[in-house]
Structure 1
């Protein structure tokens, strides 16, 4: 039997500063560690390039903001992205990446006096983007708040494009995931005043959610970048269900494409059978027509009685 021990993972070999590990207290080591994280993420994307969306969605997801699940232990491999020999399951690698970024953010905070503001901003922005794509709110939501409230300062402001990007994610997270429209509108108003923030996309998404306009919501969802779409995805289920409910109450029958494409916003990913299974629809299919309800047949008139 070989006495060689397996090589320790260069990311997992580092612990949390809060638990006494001092490896990341050196700013130079922080930079090297961050470079390793970025490299591992690039390899993750290369390994799963054929179905990257499925790989990024492989973590167990929850809309909860409970930081105790930061990040969740990956217990199941992705059914859409099978493991490749020598390559960790996507959920395992994502969990490692998110946990490593949490260690690094903690270390950067602990060494704030010795760490440059620019490096801290780089770490947090990268962490936010990856965590949004991985659908992991406990990793991105606190970082969004910290980046905008603390790191985006008068002495070291974020680049305008990044500041606008982060404000967009935070507003949409309030509206789409947390379903807190009051907080979303309040943040938009404050961002307009403090950062001259303006975004037609944000305005239209908020209006679409406020007025239950699923047509506009799906149009925007399919036109924005992958990060914004990932945040909007938190509202996808309720927008789809509202659309189905509205169609079901207004029509007797419709073309199947109107249901599969129009109500879901994604005709490529949804089929009629999948929609029936997920939403427990009791409607009937007649070729390309979906029968929502059949009109009641009028009872024939009763013959007039004659008296003799």
Structure 2
């Protein structure tokens, strides 16, 4: 029964519970008409929420191996993201988290958590671009986005972010020499390994005066289709560069297998696995190798008896 005056009784039955909104999803893309990220203070508070969410994910993942599996579950085929690293701490700091390598796990919850972070970073980047922001905060946010997106192998995020950082932010608010070399190395490796533009990779190295012996070795390996050297370089670099180099692995390994097919009648299994960086089962299932295994020897071709 209503009280006098027609008012409903106060209390739990007369009130709706407020809807809880995800702080990362509550803000939309500036390109879609949401203007909140055109405010500089809002950009900074939103970035803090992104980092908090990322750190929560890392904390929930627990052990290093579990964190690695969660990141590796997010591959480009699903347009989601994966892996660990990048800056955290105060907005003006450029401290970087330890990088993570590779592994696999299929977890919808993990995929959603990191997808939300990558999507939020896109919104933040749009806000920074729209406001033409070129300060230390912009550098911090872009470095975070680039490093995380590389480990996630989400080229749609890291490639345009690298270009904007180098072309629009760096000329007005210079990166440190270490940061510049880091970002240019990513760009060079991306051109060579993901886009297969080896000539462009050499041109970029020259344009930005990149001095990096491991990147040079990777380019040499690609230029000579040297899969053994390529694997050696990949094992020696940090998690970010190794992640970018993964884009070229399949084609290089296939080229190596074709060379074996044209050159040998048979090879020792250990030698084949070492040369291709893959186990026999992976070569059969993933690369479609149709050769026969007889004991410890792989028979590639059999001489037909006359």
- Residue 306 (structure 1) aligns with: none
> Is contact 2:134-2:169 (8 Å) kept?
no
Quickly say closer, same or farther: Cα 1:200–1:101, change in 2 above 3 A. same
Quickly say closer, same or farther: Cα 1:123–1:211, change in 2 above 3 A. same
* 1:276-302 deviation per Cα after TM superposition (whole angstroms, max 9, x unaligned): 0111111111122211122343x4xxx
* 1:114-134 deviation per Cα after TM superposition (whole angstroms, max 9, x unaligned): x45111111111101111111
> How far, CA to CA, are the matches of 2:211 and 2:106 in structure 1?
42
User: Of the candidates 227, 230, 237, which is equivalent to residue 243 of structure 2?
Assistant: 230
2:197 maps to 1:185? no
> How far, CA to CA, are the matches of 1:185 and 1:39 in structure 2?
38
User: Of the candidates 132, 155, 167, which is equivalent to residue 137 of structure 1?
Assistant: 155
2:169 maps to 1:151? yes
* 1:185-216 deviation per Cα after TM superposition (whole angstroms, max 9, x unaligned): 11111112xxxx21111211111111111111
2:293 alignment partner, SS class: strand
User: Of the candidates 77, 102, 113, which is equivalent to residue 93 of structure 1?
Assistant: 113
2:105 alignment partner, SS class: coil
User: Of the candidates 56, 70, 73, which is equivalent to residue 55 of structure 1?
Assistant: 70
Deviation at 1:51, TM superposition (A): 3.5
Query: What is the root-mean-square deviation of aligned Cα atoms in Å?
Result: 2.2
What residue ranges of structure 2 are gaps of 5+ in the alignment? 1-12, 82-102
> How far, CA to CA, are the matches of 1:6 and 1:73 in structure 2?
27
User: Of the candidates 246, 255, 271, which is equivalent to residue 259 of structure 2?
Assistant: 246
2:94 maps to 1:81? no
1:198 alignment partner, SS class: coil
TM-score by length of 1: 0.81
> How far, CA to CA, are the matches of 1:82 and 1:263 in structure 2?
26
> Is contact 2:186-2:244 (8 Å) kept?
yes
Deviation at 1:271, TM superposition (A): 3.1
Number of residue pairs aligned between Structure 1 and Structure 2: 269
Quickly say closer, same or farther: Cα 1:263–1:190, change in 2 above 3 A. same
Which shifted more, 200-209 or 219-228?
A: 200-209
TM-score by length of 2: 0.81
